[in-house]
């Protein structure tokens, strides 16, 4: 990290039962499951050793993210936690709880999003609204801590979309940036963003990270 770089360490929350079941939880407020808690503690131990200079943690208000952030904050010596609703996962409204297969083939979610980013599922939000608020949340974290290291705890879809926008200015490329539960990615801003590492799960070797990563959590 150069003297003037701002660093964001990006973490997807620990595992939930919905992650295991392959259903979209989005804005639904699920807690971590037992393995998710173990994942968060393994990550916290690694960060306490490797990144004691983290000055702040920004987290989604959803329980699975806030639980993960709290476990990490305690390991770092009670680093302050800032809750930012902009870091919440994509809200699918009435379609939450459906499987990925139902969303893809029955509801044609991703097809509809690609055709019209302003379209929204019933009771949910549009891809445009989602992407805009997540990107703004990332920018708030960067602008609030110039030249410092900050941890962001969020969700699979939110992180993937933010990375696609920040690195390629194209939110439709989110599939390239899907992370596993409690994985770490690292962005340096000096001032433009550079991805230094992605989807690092070395700390989860003894705990497991639940197989292939998916958005929607």
Task: Enumerate domains of the chain plus CATH numbers.
Answer: 6-204 (3.40.50.1240)
Residue of 15, 41, 89, 125 marked catalytic: 89
Residue 69: is its pLDDT beyond 90?
Answer: yes
Sequential DSSP letters for 69-95: HHHHHHHTTS--EEE-GGGSPP--GGG
Q: Which token pair is 70?
A: 């709290």
Share of the chain above pLDDT 70, in %: 94
Q: Determine whether 89 is an active site residue.
A: yes
Q: What is the pLDDT of residue 206?
A: 84
Distance, first Cα to last Cα, the chain? 30
Query: Is residue 158 pLDDT above 80, yes or no?
Result: yes
Give burial (CB, 10 Å; 0-12/13-18/19+) of 211. exposed
On the question of pLDDT at 2 being above 60, the answer is no
Does residue 153 have a pLDDT over 70?
Answer: yes
Q: 54, 79 in Cβ contact below 8 A?
A: yes
- Ranking 118-132, 170-184, 198-212 by mean pLDDT, the lowest is 198-212
pLDDT confidence band for 130 (50 / 70 / 90)? very high
Tokens representing residue 135 in the block: 């990107």
pLDDT single digits (tens) 161-201: 999 999 999 999 999 999 999 999 999 999 899 999 999 99
The two structure tokens encoding residue 107: 């509801």
Predicted model pTM:
0.94
Structure-token match 């010596």, residue found: 77
Scan for tokens 């379209």, then name that residue.
119
- List, in order, residues 6 or more apart from 49 with CB less than 8 Å away: none
188 counts as catalytic: no
Q: Residue-wise over 14-43: b if at least 16 C-beta within 10 A, else e?
A: bbbebbeeebbbbbbebebbebbbbbbbbb
d(CA 143, CA 89): 22
- Per-residue pLDDT tens digits for 87-118: 999 999 999 999 999 999 999 999 999 999 99
Query: What 3 state SS string does 42-70 have?
Result: HHHHHHHHHCCCEEEEEECCCHHHHHHHH
Q: Provide the pLDDT for residue 1.
A: 47
Q: What is the pLDDT at residue 3?
A: 59
Q: Which pLDDT band holds residue 78 (cuts at 50, 70, 90)?
A: confident
How far is it, in rounded angstroms, from Cα 9 to Cα 182? Answer: 12
Local confidence band at 4 (pLDDT 50, 70, 90 cut-offs):
confident
Q: Supply 187's token pair.
A: 């962005």
Supply the mean pLDDT for the chain: 94
Q: What is the DSSP letter of 59?
A: E
């Amino acid at each position: 990290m150069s003297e003037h770089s701002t660093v964001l360490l990006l973490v997807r929350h620990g595992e939930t039962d919905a992650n295991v079941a392959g259903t979209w939880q989005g804005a639904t407020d699920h807690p971590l499951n037992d393995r998710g808690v173990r994942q968060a503690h393994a990550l916290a131990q690694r960060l306490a050793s490797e990144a004691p200079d983290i000055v702040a943690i920004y987290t989604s208000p959803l329980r699975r993210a806030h639980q993960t952030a709290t476990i990490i904050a305690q390991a770092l010596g009670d680093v302050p936690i800032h809750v930012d609703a902009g870091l919440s996962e994509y809200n699918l409204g009435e379609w939450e709880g459906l499987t990925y297969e139902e969303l893809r083939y029955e509801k044609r979610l991703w097809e509809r999003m690609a055709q019209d980013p302003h379209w929204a599922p019933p009771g949910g939000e549009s891809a445009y609204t989602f992407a805009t608020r997540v990107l703004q949340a990332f920018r708030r974290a960067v602008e609030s801590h110039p030249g410092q290291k900050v941890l962001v705890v969020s969700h699979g879809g939110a992180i993937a979309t933010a990375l696609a926008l920040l690195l390629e200015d194209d939110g439709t490329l989110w599939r390239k940036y899907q992370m596993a539960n409690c994985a770490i990615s690292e962005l340096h801003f000096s001032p433009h963003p550079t991805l230094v590492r992605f989807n690092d799960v070395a700390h989860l070797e003894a705990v497991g990270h639940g197989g292939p990563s998916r958005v929607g959590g």
